[in-house]
Structure 1
């Protein structure tokens, strides 16, 4: 199984890529330009001190979407629609994980705030754009900081809330994400629950700023996992 991380050259995408490479998964980093993706692959090899990694490659977003079995979108909200439009024809029937959070910058250096997309959440925007392509949309990774992912020698002290309308896809994504040490996945329900999950991110950003850290995350207690 190949995991294609679209827009995977930012800290979140790099962090996810590193964690899956460490878990032995086959990873493709996608970017608007293949050269940028190839540079990100070299950066990961440097960070992991592994020059001869053979389970990671860099391609354009379009080629990554063609080749990947599971696609993960890790772009800012402003790049969500153009990225989706560029890969739309290549996602037929595939699991598509959206990690996008609709955040906007504020004047005066105050924390970024959440805004409500037209469809209700970024994940539902993705579903609307990819409608008719048979893609199974799953929302995940919204509340896990890029710093925690990039701190790849340590466990991630955060749960991952998963939402989506296809139970089998959520199960596959959960089992994959739980290969990252420290993360437990929790089924948050149908895709519309992404409206709540995405909103939590702005709260976590504010808390991290207030308490001068980059690793604050979310843990859900008292649940008996099935």
Structure 2
């Protein structure tokens, strides 16, 4: 599977890229500037030199969106709209997993506070921006701590809550996400459920701050997945 991480040169995008590359997937790191993507990939390949068969390349976001089979959006809220507009013509009917969370940091506030969006959630905002495409938008990775992703090779002690309107697309996403050791993926239902999923992130950030941790996560218990 060729995974394109749009806006992937930040820590969350790179750490997801590392996890998927180690799992044997072909990873494309996208950036607004190709040069930055190439530089970050070079650094990452050096970091992962002890792993075999790592496949990772850097591209401009538009080319990454064209080349990738599944897209993952990992940008701050302030860059969400502009980034999506640059790749809109290249998305087609692909699955796009949106990890954006509307945190108050977008307006200079606290990372432990949430911004209410007119669309209801960041993922629904993505769906609205891409409404003239056939893209299948899924909220994903919103509640998985970047510190957990970064803590390679340790497994991730957290569930990944997802939401989306296309059940087949969610099945593909779940199969991919669960290639990261330790993660269990929970389908929470329609895309509107992203409104609740995204609000878990500032709660977890606040808990990590309160208890002086970086690895707080979420587990849903008592559910038997089919």
Fold match by TM threshold 0.5: yes
Question: 2 CA distance for matches of 1:155 and 1:222?
Answer: 21
Residues 163, 188 of structure 1: 8 Å contact kept: yes
Going from structure 1 to structure 2, the CA distance change for 1:92 and 1:109 (only over 3 Å counts) comes to closer
Give the superposition deviation at 1:15: 0.8
Residues 22, 51 of structure 2: 8 Å contact kept: no
CA RMSD of aligned residues (A): 1.8
Going from structure 1 to structure 2, the CA distance change for 1:20 and 1:81 (only over 3 Å counts) comes to same
Question: 1 CA distance for matches of 2:114 and 2:47?
Answer: 32
**Aligned position for 2:113:** 113
**Aligned position for 2:66:** 66
| SS of residue matched to 1:36 | helix
The yes-or-no answer on 1:5 pairing with 2:5 is yes
Deviates more, 1:22-31 or 1:98-107: 98-107
**Aligned position for 1:156:** 156
**Aligned position for 2:214:** 214
| SS of residue matched to 2:59 | strand
Deviates more, 1:96-105 or 1:51-60: 51-60
Going from structure 1 to structure 2, the CA distance change for 1:53 and 1:43 (only over 3 Å counts) comes to farther
Going from structure 1 to structure 2, the CA distance change for 1:170 and 1:127 (only over 3 Å counts) comes to same
**Aligned position for 1:136:** 136
> Deviation per CA, 1:110-138, whole angstroms, max 9, x where unpaired?
54311111100000000000002100001
Q: State TM-score, norm by structure 2.
A: 0.96
Going from structure 1 to structure 2, the CA distance change for 1:145 and 1:51 (only over 3 Å counts) comes to closer
Question: 2 CA distance for matches of 1:192 and 1:53?
Answer: 38
Q: State TM-score, norm by structure 1.
A: 0.96
Question: 2 CA distance for matches of 1:108 and 1:130?
Answer: 27
Going from structure 1 to structure 2, the CA distance change for 1:222 and 1:51 (only over 3 Å counts) comes to closer
| SS of residue matched to 1:128 | helix
Give the superposition deviation at 1:54: 5.4
Runs of 4+ in structure 1 off by over 2 angstroms are 49-54, 105-112
Q: Which runs of 5+ in 1 are unaligned?
A: none
Going from structure 1 to structure 2, the CA distance change for 1:135 and 1:154 (only over 3 Å counts) comes to same
Aligned length: 226
